[in-house]
Amino acid sequence: MRHARRRIVRRVTRLAAVGGLLLGTVMVTRAVASEPPGVPAEPRAATGAAVAPGAELLDRLGTTRTAGSWIGDDGRPVVAVTDRQAAAEVRAAGAAAKVVPHSMRELKSATAALRSAPRVPGTAWAVDYRSNEVVVRGDTTVSGADWSRLTDLAESLGGSVRMERTEGTFTTRLNGAQQILSTAGRCSAGFNVTDGRRDFILTAGHCGPGGSVWFADSQGRQQVGRTVDRSFPGDDYSLIQYGDGRAGDGAEVVAVGDGRGVRITGLGDPAVGQRVFRSGSTTGLRDGRVTALDATVNYPEGTVSGLIETDVCAEPGDSGGPLFSEGIALGVTSGGSGDCTAGGTTFFQPVTRALTDLDLRLIVAAPRGAGGQEEGAGASPEPSASATQSAVAPGAASPGSSAPVGGDVRATAVLSRLSDPRNVGPGLLIVAGSLVALVATRWIRAEQDRRSYQRHYSATWG
């Protein structure tokens, strides 16, 4: 009876091993024939980013007849125009029109004059579309003599520039969503991006020089990666390559505190007046509105241009943190003035510009399937410079759909990698296990036959 049971176990084991060999071979063959892990077979468009109706009108009417656009309180685009005929065309297209004295060409000429003047740290300027002016701000570090010199320049530009003093100082917010640390200081992970073969963290450029090594803990035990590219000043973005090249599970989620996160589903450029959200390791999730685009800030370390200006507060430690709305990635925290007690101004490096310069794609959440389940994360295609969230009324915007967040910035799960059907690893493991099982059953059978042979002849020959 016992021998019969052993034979049954051996036969079942051999059948399972043969089945495992066939299954493993098929898995390896399919994995080799498929795209590399982490890259979708067909790159998916960044969802949720709508083209601004106002942007099309600006392009058609030109910079001499328009002066920017923004989102009105009712969610409709408002276009600033310089003549009544242009206003009629704007209204015919379904947008609101506001007739203003200065064209975008005049306003850009004023900002060019400010850039060519001697640099004054502690100043910043941006075009305020609503007031049709270039607003120049000076913080408490700007001396009276420097401020007087800038004021004289502004007056010579013919009424298109407004001068404002601001409390606090314009500083980079060194020290986000989840903290990363190096000898250069404390910053935050912004968004996960990829080139199709390796994954990276996009964060602020002022966070550290090239070659900086980053950790997820203050003891330096959990290494995240190393800075491999950087642009600061001029721009304010840098790229941290993951140590093993993979971002892992949850790469499309940004943390917002209390173990929760927001799924990122696409990327775009914001519109003036849009409600936006920022997450940082110091102050958590905060919201506000975009007040200007293409802003310039003269930090003590150097001048950065092309920034998104907002009234969202931030504090040291929030640098590099993500700016988003409705799940659309917009920027990474650069710097600003004020704090989250008194309020202030915060500037962001646009994600679209950084990814274009770096030739990378944002890692985004997959569309939900019929059952409401995520189909997996992938990479977005090249960013669109005209994509905005202008179709969303400012007060109705939300951060985006929520998701749980792990405590580690990497959120890497080895088990999930092994179970990924696009990897050859799972198939090879099954093949190897099946071979071991076959060899083991053959060895056990041979050993049993040898012992039976010994017992038989021992009894026969005494």
Q: Which residues are catalytic?
A: 206, 236, 319
Rg from Cα positions in the chain: 30
Residue type, position 74, single letter: D
SS3 of 100, please? coil
Give dist(CA 250, CA 244) in Å, integer: 16
Tokens of 282: 């110091």
Task: Give me the DSSP letters along 302-331.
Answer: EEEEEEEEE-----TT-TT-EEEETTEEEE
Handedness of CA 266, 305, 133, 343 (dihedral sign): positive
- Alpha carbon distances (Å) from 392 to 29, 55, 267, 320, 385: 46, 15, 15, 25, 18
Enter the tokens of residue 413.
């799960």
Pairwise CA distance, residues 432 & 425, whole Å = 10
Report the C-alpha gap between 165 and 180 in whole angstroms: 34
CA distance 17 to 31: 21
